Structure 1
Amino acid sequence: LFTGRPARAGVAPEPVSVIADTWANALIIGAADDDMAMIESLLERLDSATDEAGLQVQVFPLAKADARRVGQTLESLLRGAAVGAPGAAATVAVNVDERLNAVIVSAGEADLKRVGDLVKQLDTDQVARIAEIRVFPLQNARASALATILNDVLNTNPQPLGEENPNRQSLLQFISRRDGGEDLIASALKEGVLIVPDTRINALVVSAPVDYMGLLDEVVKYLDTSSPQIAQIKVFNLRNADARQMALVLTSLFRLEQTGTADANDRSVQYTLVRPAEVGGTGENPGVGAVVNSAEEHALTVTVDLRTNSLLVGGTEHYVALASQIIETLDSSPAQERQTAVYRLRNTRARDVEVPLRTFLQQDIDRITTVLGPNAVGTAQNLLEREVSIVAETNSNTLLISASPRYFNEVEALIEELDQPQAQVLIQVLLAEVQLDSTTELGVEWSYAGSGNPTFNTGTDFAIQEALQNFGGYYAALSGSDVQVLLRALQVDGRLEILSRPQILTADNMEATINIGQRVPLVTGTQVTPQGGTINQFNYEDVGVQLTVTPRVSPDGFVRLDVGPTISALSSSSVQISAGLEVPIINQRTATTTVAVRSGESVLIGGLIGSTEDTRTRK
């Protein structure tokens, strides 16, 4: 205050020093005489006596308002009051006694009066906005769905397009056109409303301000009366089309699921359209026809009455009209006559033609349905025309065909192509085996008899006495009174050639097998009976020449062959597998390969050259 005062007549003001002594609650001031008189006058005014006894405490009991809320309101209003300190203004303190539902205020007389007037205004049951609870019964719409729509529209703040505050108050208007052509406008300020659906009575329970109810009433009435979702049932008596075939077409288009049985004794078969929301649920399907007010659960139901050749269609107005258009178009078309024929096959078995042809035609129908979608109404007639019946009669090797005239020639062309004669292949295989054998045998056998008739015998590498009876060769014998000598020499040269040329004729891409040889029993086990006898167990094995070949003729003139020749023969050796039981050894040569060769040419597929030398000497 004194530092910022202006100078007088160009003379600088005298400085003023002020020091506060908080312990003594006093001010120590140093100033000129004139300034000191002014300071004393100011201090007398500022240090006027503050009557501590002026603080009063009063209890304000509340009859209608909540004490805690009133206390919070007072504290927020009086938050800027001075904090009590020596020499400061009186402090306003607010406390709440929830037990008495009262507000306790400590303040000066003037503040206390002002707080008392404020408490009287807050302790009242009169409010500016009155909320109302009303029940809106619904006739057509579902309560849960309508409640979701209204909550999204009325209780969701829109995203601002600019810097505008989305919480700013706005006015809602609902405009509806009456039958007379006049517009009815209902408006209300946008405020928070509470909308709860009651599914038991199909109604909406709404809590909102009174002036809001008019707008809600108009919106609910409009949404409840427009496009009622009531199921319809319509019967179609078919004159030209077959009811079961028509149901299959509708099933393919709308992706219906069969909910009834399809036995021959049943008079009706039912198909139901399952909505995506139901897929993956509990899996329960009531399997009933269209029922009033159930169109949301089953939008389309098709039931076939085989006795009257009729279709019973139930569902929403949209789906019934869609199915009606398809049925009437297909049933009124005179081009649905079927052409039937019996096709006798010449080269291929009937079953081998029926299976691939049926698979091809079914995949063609599935492709059309997948590409155009389940609601492709314009393709229904095309799908029905593409239905082809094919039955194979194996005894006479014939096909029974029933198709529309438009596609009959196409099916017949496919059958003729599948019945083309297959190329035949003659395969000749040369199996050659050459065996060379050279054997040289030389030995001597002698005996000596001394006094007392002792006899000593020696042997060679072969039994000469026995060999003389069975084998040729050169031999000489020398006999005396005491000594006997036998000499024998033999040389054998052998040459064995085995030449097999099996040939077999087979069709293209057909496996052929030729087996030339014997079936030899081979003992696999022996059982000794209690009486001492034996029981042998044996299996027959093929021994000889076996050939398995599968030819595949290519358009470029090559023949691809899967060849598997096998040559087996009994050897002169045997193997003892148990006491007193020997089985022969089977020599086997096998080759398996795949080759490509031109017609009339030869190819070498394998071979083996082996040599064995065995020299034995006994001394």
Structure 2
Amino acid sequence: MHPFALLLLLATTSPPEPKESCETLRRNARFSVHFERVELAKLAQTISDATCKTFIVSDTVKGAISLVGPENSALTLDAEQLYAAFLAALDVNGLTVVRQGRLWRIIEKPRARQHPVPLLFDGAPFPAPEEVVSRLFHLQHAELEPTRAVLAQLVGQGGDLLAIAPDLLLATDSVANLQRLEALLKTLDTPRAADVTRLVTVRHADAADLADKVTRLVVPKAPGRTPETLTVATDERTNRLLLVGAESLVTKAEGLVAQLDVEVPGDGKARVYRLKNADAKDIAAALEGLTQRAGKPGAPGATVTGDVRITANEPLNALVIVASAGDYRSLVEVIEALDQPVRQVFIETVIMEVNVDRESQLGLSVHGVAGTSDVPVVFGSQPTGAPSSLSLKSLAGGAGLLAGVQGPVLTGVSKALGFDVSAFGIALQAVQTDSDANVLSTPYILTTDNKEAEIVVGQRVPFQQGTSSAALQSLLTSGNSAAATTLSSLGSVSRERVELKLAVKPHIGDGDHVRLEINQSAEEISGQNSLGPITSTRSQKTAVVAQDGQTLVLGGIMQDRDVEGVSKTPLLGDIPVLGHLFRNTTHKKTKVNLLVFLTPHIVRDASDIDRLVEKKTEERRRLLERTYGGTAGYDAPIDYARRRGPLSALWRAVDREQRRPENGGSGELQDTLIAPGAPAP
């Protein structure tokens, strides 16, 4: 007989209205069914037309299915019975259906647990027996792992059973098999005889050693019957035993512990404790006081009672402790409290200084000669700082506006005085000096809590320290300029530090408050003279409290100086207007504005470090842009040319979900969508 499929509508119905749904039309329909080796896709289309369900069939799922009645006759079924028969036929062929939204996917049973099947909780009704679902069972009395081992032997092919501590089982299988597991679980999950729980403190021995002895000795393995149960657990931190079981066994175990837990003189055991965060030398020093008080009976606050020796091992950052079990446990409690992760503090300091200097100088010197050549009268005025009118060569080394005029040289007077003297002379110098300085220093440093850190940035500058006798002799026999040169060349010179220094010690308190002990100083070269550089120093030492990320003003100075100096000839320099010929005027105006800011940042984990690195890298990039122009390169932490970014991964996930048939998409290339056809009248 050639394979065929027959589906007859036996119940007569009235012609459907245009708006009637498929479910309404099939509600009272009955079907005569006879299938022999029908292809899965064709059978799924027939079932879809009869049940108004839409199926997804992958090209990888193939097979021929038969569904016949007794003696190869046809079956008369309603839509619900027909769907149940279809699921049973799929189950025989190793297939099943999994709900995906409003659609149903036909897959191999071993792959069912890889799909998002419906999850049922305790008390929820089961769907059709052949469907694959997940059921969450909550154990009330039975132990988790032994129960899972028993039920795992009954899980069908392609099913799964997962134990979730402390008392949950998640089973994925067909509904029929899950109903079997539920019935068996009701038998297994029954209350046992009442157990008692006792907590026993071990004072001298090691709790783990006693637990092993109690487990082996208290419960003998009697053949031929099931022994009573006793569970012995150890709390190593408090050196206690937790006994759970029958009251007789618990009482017997308590007696055995009391006999074994006795003090043994000289029972010291060497143990190694590896520190995770703290320094071994610091912890050993902190515990020294405890071990010293141990030898004094009744010492207040003593936590150890015997002879204890503690040695710090620096290469391993560990403590070697020789002590009894009880003393070791007491020390471990103290060590664990001290060995805590140390937080770090990133401290940013900004030093802003603005210096404005304005200096003007006006100097005028004059001279003249009267009388005869035999009795010359030389008069003149040369205020301090003004150029000499006797020799215009003095103007060569000046700055600013320079002007001068001289009369003819008087031979007789020149011979009498030993140098050239002109009949008259005038020398003028007018100079103004402007100096603006805007200094911005931003030292920053990373340090751990309660640890002092220091950053120093500077240079070594030569300073004149003294001179030799030869230099002093040259000073007496040469001019001022030559003397200065001689002093600098023959004198002793030392190199001194001119630096910016920041020393800080942070203390992190509650509520993310940071107390900072700060010692900050800044030195710089502010000028130069014939003897060497002139330095200025600004320093402060203080202690402040700031919130995490809060900016504080540590200190500052605002200075405004206006100095006017006059060098003049007495009486003549006071004459109105004409007095300018006999005086030298200097006017200097200085303004200084200095502010010091500080901002602490608590570093809690690696992500805070990453943010600081990116922030400082970005600041450097902006500095390069302002200085050299263009855009400086930046190496991203992740190479997105080789690795997808988070937005790309999100877009791919959304696109993949939108392509799924249950979401209205076209499905994958190997999927075939089978939907109900037009309902027959």
TM range (shorter): 0.3 to 0.5
* Larger-gyration structure (1/2): 1
For normalisation by structure 2, the TM-score amounts to 0.34
Q: Name the structure with the higher helix share.
A: 2
For normalisation by structure 1, the TM-score amounts to 0.37
Greater RCO, CA 8 A, separation 6+ = 2
